[in-house]
Amino acid sequence: NIVIHWYKQKEGEAPERLLFVSEGKVTVESGFQANRYMAERSSFQKWCVLTIKDVIPDDAATYYCAYWDPHLWSSWIKYFGMGTKLIVSEKESSPPANSEILQKKHEDQIMYVCLIEKFYPEVIRVTWTEDEKEVTDNVVKGDTWQSTKENEYSIASWLTVPAENEDKKYYCKYEHEEEKASLPTQVDSVKTSQEKDCRTVFNRGNLMYQLMHRTAYLVYIIVLLKSSMYNIIILFFIYR
């Protein structure tokens, strides 16, 4: 008896309901061409498929499925899926042209930087695992950035582990619509980067972070100088 809803959210806009499926009947919201959308659900396998016919550029958006579920005290909660991003482009998709793991040891920690370069489209999933178990602690995933060549994207992900885990093998896994791969940290091809190598990757992914810190530092200095001048003026009048 669960009603399945499908939402469409274009970048920078609020989500809007596209259609809903109830008792095997699909109801498309006004404003959308009903003959272009089809939804099929299976209660037994617990899935629902949305099909869009004759895709056009305006269909580019992120699509979410959702359903209402009764909760405690007779309240209802709407659960949303993680969303599927649809990109409409004349350019063919291409897998990453290069992927590697950079390594930097600092004091009692080891930092692994997984660098994945030059892929299209920009949608990609990057995870770290150990013995087939996903690692989420001390993992930072950067945003994708556009390479110098148009319509090519890159991404970096960082994993920090204690130095005593140096002999453990971690994997950086990525899933792109054109390719899936798993990069181990302990192989001969792993590059032990110089400080400038890691700095290059960090500058790409954390430029805004560095600028924010520099700005905060300058503001702090200005406030400190103003406070010092204020104290000097007060002391001058007191002793006078």
| Residue 27 CB contacts under 8 Å (≥ 6 apart), including other chains | 19, 20, 21
The set of long-range contacts for 136-145, using a CB threshold of 8 Å and a minimum separation of 24, is: 142/204, 142/205, 142/206, 143/205, 145/204, 145/205
Share of the chain above pLDDT 70, in %: 78
Cis peptide preceding 121, ω within 30 of 0: yes
pTM attached to this predicted model:
0.62
Residue 240 has pLDDT above 90, yes or no: no
38-47, 107-116, 211-220 — which is least confidently predicted? 211-220
pLDDT digits (tens, 9 = 90+) for 184-233: 997 654 444 444 455 555 445 444 444 344 444 444 555 555 566 666 77
pLDDT digits (tens, 9 = 90+) for 48-69: 999 999 999 999 999 999 998 8
The 3-state secondary structure of 104-141, one letter per residue: EEECCEEEEEEEEEEEECCCCEEEEEECCEEECCCEEE
Token duo for residue 61: 């958006």
Q: Where are the domains of the chain?
A: 4-86, 98-184
CATH architecture of 4-86: Sandwich (2.60)
Token duo for residue 239: 């002793």
Which of helix, strand or coil describes residue 154?
strand
Residue type at position 89:
S
- The correct CATH number of 98-184 out of 3.50.50.60, 2.60.40.10, 2.40.160.40, 3.40.1170.60 is 2.60.40.10
- By the 10 Å C-beta count (0-12 exposed, 13-18 middle, 19+ buried), 6 is classed as buried
Tell me if domain 4-86 and domain 98-184 are identical in fold: yes
Q: Over the chain, what is the mean pLDDT?
A: 82
Given a contact cutoff of 8 angstroms between Cβ atoms, the answer to whether 179 and 95 are in contact is yes
Given a contact cutoff of 8 angstroms between Cβ atoms, the answer to whether 113 and 156 are in contact is yes
Paired strand residues for 105? 110
Paired strand residues for 22? 25
Share of the chain above pLDDT 90, in %: 52
Token duo for residue 7: 């939402």
